[in-house]
């Protein structure tokens, strides 16, 4: 029997039926309501109803934007302001009568890629999403690594510049303040570039624009620093990177791999591989299903 998977994000909420091999059989999605906690729940409940009328499920896995509190089964996503300590696990259990497991969206992305995507075969994997923000999750020794509260793997908030700018998290100099799509764009604009977003910035870099190339060099240097640091701490063998900015392809991965050689001094991290994610928008759902596999 299938697994019901939910992927709850600031932009959209998705529900799907996933089979035992991790294939997405059904997928339903809607924009995330911003007006009230109950409105966001109503949409979630509707999506669950749609998925379950397409077929039965034996358990539910939930990937949610963080922070999450695994012990309490609640979520307080930074980008879903109406949900503060929202009891998502209890609500879903009550509605479906099924066993429910919760994981952070970064963790689920890593798990999805490990099960069905670019991370197959890797035992020590960092999954990263570089988009409007930067998220991540760890699969260590082949298993999801939750941490104490379910929030391990928040690589976007590793510090890449000790004197850096204020971050949405309240800290300073997090890699997200340097290498997210909007922050790369803002830096390029501060240097005189006149484009509007990171997609255009990638096209400009591909066409040889010097400021755009410098923006990618700067961002990938910061990414390389935190990736090498994480690899040194966790003894990783693979990093998988998805999200909007990773769609830049070699424009991102080329300078990133080059920058990594500067920071991977220790012998055991020199063979670290960096690959583009394979699952795209399905990684969260597939990883949520992997939580209850
Ligand atoms: P979200 O953050 O809502 O998950 P995305 O993953 O699509 O959304 O990320 C959006 C970011 O990715 C924006 O900064 C956007 O400019 C950037 N982006 C989208 N496509 C590309 C591309 N081909 N190259 C570089 N950046 C891109
Ligand atoms: Zn931060």
16-25 confidence digits (pLDDT tens): 999 999 999 9
Average pLDDT of the residues of the chain: 97
Residue identifier of the C-alpha nearest atom 6 of ligand 1: 244
The verdict on the CB of residue 247 being under 6 Å from ligand 1 is yes
Mean pLDDT value of segment 23-52: 97
Using most ligand atoms within 8 A of CB, pick from 179, 199, 252, 255 the residue to mutate for ligand 1.
Answer: 199
Q: Determine whether domain 2-108+282-292 maps to CATH 1.10.287.70.
A: no
Q: Say how far apart CA 207 and CA 209 lie, in whole Å.
A: 6
What sections of 26-78 are H helices per DSSP?
Answer: 37-54
pLDDT band for position 194 (50/70/90)?
A: very high
Atom of ligand 1 nearest to the CA of 242: 6
- Identical fold at 2-108+282-292 and 121-277? yes
pLDDT at 289 over 90: yes
**Spatial contact of 80 and 10, defined as CB atoms under 8 Å apart:** yes
What does pTM read for this prediction? 0.95
Q: Which residues have a beta carbon within 5 Å of ligand 2, which is an ion?
A: 157, 167, 169, 171, 174
**Superfamily of structural domain 121-277:** ATPase, nucleotide binding domain (3.30.420.40)
72-128 pLDDT, tens per residue? 999 999 989 999 999 999 999 999 999 999 999 999 999 999 999 999 999 999 999
Mean pLDDT value of segment 127-134: 95
State which H helix or E strand residue 13 sits in.
Answer: strand 12-18
pLDDT at 293: 87
Rounded to 5 degrees, φ, ψ at 53 are -80, -15
Residue 204: count of CB within 10 angstroms of its CB: 21
Mean pLDDT value of segment 177-205: 98
Residue 82: count of CB within 10 angstroms of its CB: 16
**Spatial contact of 64 and 104, defined as CB atoms under 8 Å apart:** yes
Enumerate the domain spans of the chain. 2-108+282-292, 121-277
pLDDT at 237 over 90: yes
Percent of the chain with pLDDT over 90: 99
Rounded to 5 degrees, φ, ψ at 16 are -150, 160
Give 184-204 as a DSSP string: HHHHHHHTT----SHHHHHHH
pLDDT at 64 over 90: yes
Using most ligand atoms within 8 A of CB, pick from 11, 105, 131 the residue to mutate for ligand 1.
Answer: 131
Residue identifier of the C-alpha nearest atom 18 of ligand 1: 244
Ligand 2 centroid to 155 CA: how many Å?
9
Q: Cα dihedral sign for 36, 157, 134, 65?
A: negative
Q: Say how far apart CA 180 and CA 243 lie, in whole Å.
A: 10
From the CA of 159, which ligand is nearest?
Answer: 2
Q: Say how far apart CA 186 and CA 215 lie, in whole Å.
A: 10
Mean pLDDT value of segment 212-225: 98
Mean pLDDT value of segment 260-282: 95
Mean pLDDT value of segment 40-55: 98
State the Rg of the chain over Cα: 19
Rounded to 5 degrees, φ, ψ at 75 are -130, 145
247-259 pLDDT, tens per residue? 999 999 999 999 9
pLDDT at 249: 98
pLDDT at 181 over 90: yes
């Amino acid at each position: 029997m299938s697994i019901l998977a939910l992927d709850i994000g600031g932009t959209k909420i998705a529900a799907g039926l996933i089979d035992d091999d991790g294939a997405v059989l059904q997928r339903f999605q809607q924009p995330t309501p911003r007006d009230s906690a109950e409105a966001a729940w109503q949409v979630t409940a509707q999506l669950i109803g749609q998925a379950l009328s397409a077929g039965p499920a034996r358990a539910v896995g939930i990937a949610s934007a963080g922070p999450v509190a695994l012990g309490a089964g609640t979520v307080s996503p930074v980008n879903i302001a109406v949900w503060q300590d929202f009891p998502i696990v209890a609500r879903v259990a009550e509605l479906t009568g099924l066993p429910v497991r919760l994981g952070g969206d970064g963790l689920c992305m890593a798990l999805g890629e490990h099960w069905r995507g670019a991370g197959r075969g890797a035992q020590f994997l960092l999954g990263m999403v570089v988009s409007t923000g930067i998220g991540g999750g760890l699969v260590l020794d082949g298993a999801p690594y939750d941490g104490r509260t379910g929030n391990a793997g928040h690589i976007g908030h590793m510090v890449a510049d000790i004197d850096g700018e204020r971050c949405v998290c309240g800290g300073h100099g997090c890699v997200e303040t340097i290498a997210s799509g909007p922050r790369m764009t803002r830096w390029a604009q501060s240097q005189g570039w006149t484009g509007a977003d990171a997609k255009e910035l990638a096209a400009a870099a591909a066409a040889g624009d010097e400021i755009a190339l410098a923006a990618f060099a700067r961002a990938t240097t910061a990414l390389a620093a935190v990736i090498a640091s994480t690899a040194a701490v966790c003894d990783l063998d693979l990093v998988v990177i998805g999200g909007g900015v990773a769609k830049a392809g070699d424009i991102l991965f080329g300078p990133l791999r080059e920058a990594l050689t500067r920071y991977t001094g220790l012998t055991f991290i020199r063979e670290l591989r960096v690959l583009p994610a394979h699952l795209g928008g399905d990684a969260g759902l597939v990883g949520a299903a992997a939580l209850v596999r």
